[in-house]
Amino acid sequence: MRTQVGIVGAGPAGLLLSHLLALAGIDSVVLETRSRAYVEQRVRAGVLEHPTVELLREVGLAERLDREGMPHEGVSLRFEGEDHRIDFADLVGRGITVYGQQEVVKDLIAARLRDGGDLRFEVADVTLDGLADTPVIAYTDADGQRHELRCDVVAGCDGFHGISRGAYAPEMFEREYPYAWLGILAKAAPTHHELVYANHDRGFALYSMRSPEITRLYLQVPPDTDVHDWSDARIWDELGTRLAAEGFTLNEGPVLEKGVTGMRSVVAEPMRHGRLFLAGDAAHIVPPTGAKGMNLAIADVRVLADALTAFLARGDERGVDAYSDTCLRRVWRAEHFSWWMTSMLHVAPDGDAFTRRLQLSQLRYTVSSRAAATSLAENYTGLPYGGVR
């Protein structure tokens, strides 16, 4: 079998890349080890930056997003028992949209299948070879048949634990954080119209939502936390304590999902090896505090789609040669912002009083200085594509 671009991974990065390439007349095949049902139901991020929303609209993928997405024009920083709203619309003239990653994936899969896209789920034993000049992806299909897919290039969009990053030896930059998030998805109507980031003496908490009926909430916990030690009642009690503020109420309801997620920063440099190009979590991980993971993946493939189109359609190699450096500028900006939000909002596990005072000082400055609030709003809502130098 032959195609121009072999794409490993059917998450937002791989699926959007396939869609963008198809619009430019470039063929691709998407390979995914999981089932279609699994990738469509896998709950992940829910915040779309302004440039992400604009891109999805531009390429015809925003019909349901515009109908069901929840636009937000700000967030609240809650500390010392008080709310302080960061008004994105006033500060930078744009906002974000809450729309679950799994919903983006559903929209992408539907669009690719509607347009005749080649998506192959439940493949196994995927291997990569010939990455220097003649890539071959070998895999076993759902019926147990072995295949070889010959490509001009390979896009590794298969996440942190996928095979693509392991196909070469990039330089790895990593940081582990001394805390994790205990997250729940609850069937409870949101009581606040925007996200709330709370810094409390007992630890960080995040109040968010996925729909008018579903809330998504998080608590800072130690990385070795066993989710079974946290009953639903204990979680709701702790959320009530950390999110407490005058006039704020917290709806409780059945917990639909519960899990603990560790926090780390990882960057692989370079994001290219011969004719293999990494995108999304295969190349970088950010702590979730800055809401950058899926948005970075989408930014990567926007750059990659243009670069591959120029290369495959016209033989112009300038875009592919610049791909890694171009993407890494945005990646490191997002890493810094995510690190900054994380360090400002999470309570140090050793109870360091000096760090605690620094956090409160930074929070007070951020909500009282228009310049500081603008910097937060600018980064949170998403820097314009091509605007990172």
What is the CA angle 289-295-299, rounded to 5? Answer: 140
Exactly one of 197, 207, 218, 323 is catalytic; name it: 197
Give yes or no: 336 in active site: no
Tokens 């996925």 belong to 210
Single out the residue of 6, 312, 308 nearest to residue 149, CA to CA.
6
Token pair in block for residue 129: 């070879």
Give yes or no: 135 in active site: no
Q: Which long-range contacts (CB under 8 A, 24 or more apart) does 383-386 make?
A: 383/51, 383/330, 383/333, 384/51, 385/51, 385/55, 385/299, 385/302, 385/303
Exactly one of 273, 287, 288, 323 is catalytic; name it: 288
**Strands of 113-166, DSSP E:** 118-120, 124-129, 136-140, 146-150, 153-156
How far is Cα 317 from Cα 304, in angstroms, rounded to an integer? 12
Exactly one of 19, 50, 72, 192 is catalytic; name it: 72
Angstrom CA distances, 283 to 11, 137, 227, 248, 308, stand at: 14, 19, 29, 40, 18
Residues linked to residue 284 through DSSP beta bridges, in sequence order = 267
Give yes or no: 380 in active site: yes
Exactly one of 50, 273, 284, 292 is catalytic; name it: 292
User: Residue 165 phi/psi, 5° resolution?
Assistant: -65, -30
Q: What are the residue numbers of the active site?
A: 72, 197, 288, 292, 380
